[in-house]
């Protein structure tokens, strides 16, 4: 009956918005409950299965995440979100990873600041894929000086990669001089990773020195929108809701981040290509 179908659609829309909101706040256990309730109402809801898979991944319940993404793929064999996450999950054990629930997400406000105080940088000498697969865009990471190099580690003290020179050399010297920084992953996949690093304290001995000289980043202004640290599935789902639940094929912004403010035209093109290729 038309009225009953309209009621179902209305309930689905409301519950989906709640699920997305919970994911935005990293309230993953609650997101599981809401998405499961949607599936009880509409067992063929592909979006709900994808969101459920994301929530289980964030909770470290990889076997249940695989099951959810497999159900989504069963309903839509060409669903790129499910395909990509199943590929990522194939690198992980089914058992829960200790400490996954406590992995810290960083507030976007930490990265909105003055020119020369923050920058987005590539990592080199990356960790094995099995370790990278455990990480997600938005996770806080930690900087450690080793000789002249600047190493990026996760909250378990595991090596993720090296900050590329010359940024790594410069920042290592400034940290040795007393500066303090905070950092988070911007994007990560099997063979590349980028971090955003922000100066949070400048030692008096470093007065007048920019952590990220403007010329060195070729016009890139290190300000980021308040949506920078959102997970990929969350942002995709929000976009889908805005289009009246009409699913577009493919992932619009993989690894969960939107665009940067003030990016030079040539760098903006490169950024968009990177986020749509994965």
The whole-chain average pLDDT of the chain stands at 73
With 50 as the cut, is the pLDDT of residue 256 above it? no
β-pair partners for 195? 121, 185
Tell me how far apart the alpha carbons of residues 67 and 61 are, in angstroms, rounded to a whole number: 10
pLDDT-derived band of residue 252, with 50, 70 and 90 as boundaries?
very low
pLDDT, tens digit, for every residue of 90-131? 766 665 544 444 455 555 555 555 567 888 889 999 999 888
* Maximum distance among all Cα pairs of the chain, rounded to whole angstroms: 74
Fold classification of 2-89 (topology level): 1.25.40
Of the candidate ranges 4-13, 124-133, 231-240, the one whose mean pLDDT is the lowest: 231-240
**pTM > 0.75: yes or no:** no
Q: Residue ranges per domain, the chain?
A: 2-89, 108-224
Q: β-strands 260-261, 118-124: how paired?
A: unpaired
With 70 as the cut, is the pLDDT of residue 251 above it? no
Query: 14: phi > 0 → left, psi -120 to 50 → alpha, else beta; which?
Result: alpha
Tokens, residue 128: 């094995």
Q: Do domains 2-89 and 108-224 have the same CATH topology?
A: no
pLDDT-derived band of residue 234, with 50, 70 and 90 as boundaries?
low
Tell me 255's DSSP state.
Answer: G
The whole-angstrom distance between residue 169's C-alpha and the CA centroid of its chain comes to 26
With 70 as the cut, is the pLDDT of residue 6 above it? yes
Query: 19: phi > 0 → left, psi -120 to 50 → alpha, else beta; which?
Result: alpha
pLDDT-derived band of residue 248, with 50, 70 and 90 as boundaries?
very low
- Domain at 108-224: CATH code: 3.30.70.2330
């Amino acid at each position: 009956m038309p009225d009953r179908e309209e009621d179902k659609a209305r309930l689905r829309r409301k519950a989906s918005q709640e699920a997305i909101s919970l994911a935005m706040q990293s309230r993953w256990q609650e997101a599981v409950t809401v998405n499961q309730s949607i599936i009880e109402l509409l067992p063929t809801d592909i979006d709900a299965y994808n969101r459920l898979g994301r929530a289980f991944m964030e909770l470290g319940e990889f076997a249940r995440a695989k099951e959810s993404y497999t159900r989504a793929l069963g309903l839509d064999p060409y669903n790129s979100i499910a395909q990509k996450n199943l590929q990522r999950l194939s690198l992980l054990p089914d058992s829960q990873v200790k400490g996954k629930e406590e992995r810290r997400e960083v507030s976007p406000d930490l990265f909105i600041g003055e020119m020369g105080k923050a920058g987005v940088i590539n990592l080199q000498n990356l960790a094995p894929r099995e370790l990278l697969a455990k990480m997600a865009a938005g996770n806080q990471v930690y900087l450690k000086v080793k000789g002249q190099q600047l190493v990026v580690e996760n909250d378990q003290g595991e090596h993720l990669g090296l900050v590329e020179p010359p940024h790594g050399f410069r920042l290592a010297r400034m940290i040795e001089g007393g500066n303090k920084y905070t950092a988070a992953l911007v994007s990560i996949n099997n063979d590349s990773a980028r971090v955003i690093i922000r100066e949070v304290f400048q030692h008096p001995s470093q007065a007048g020195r920019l952590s990220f000289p403007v010329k060195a980043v070729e016009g890139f202004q290190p300000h980021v929108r308040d949506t920078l640290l959102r997970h990929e599935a969350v942002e995709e789902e929000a976009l889908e809701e805005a289009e009246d639940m009409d699913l577009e094929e493919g992932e619009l912004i993989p690894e969960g981040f939107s665009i940067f403010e003030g990016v030079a035209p040539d760098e903006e093109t490169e950024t968009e290509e990177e986020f749509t290729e994965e």
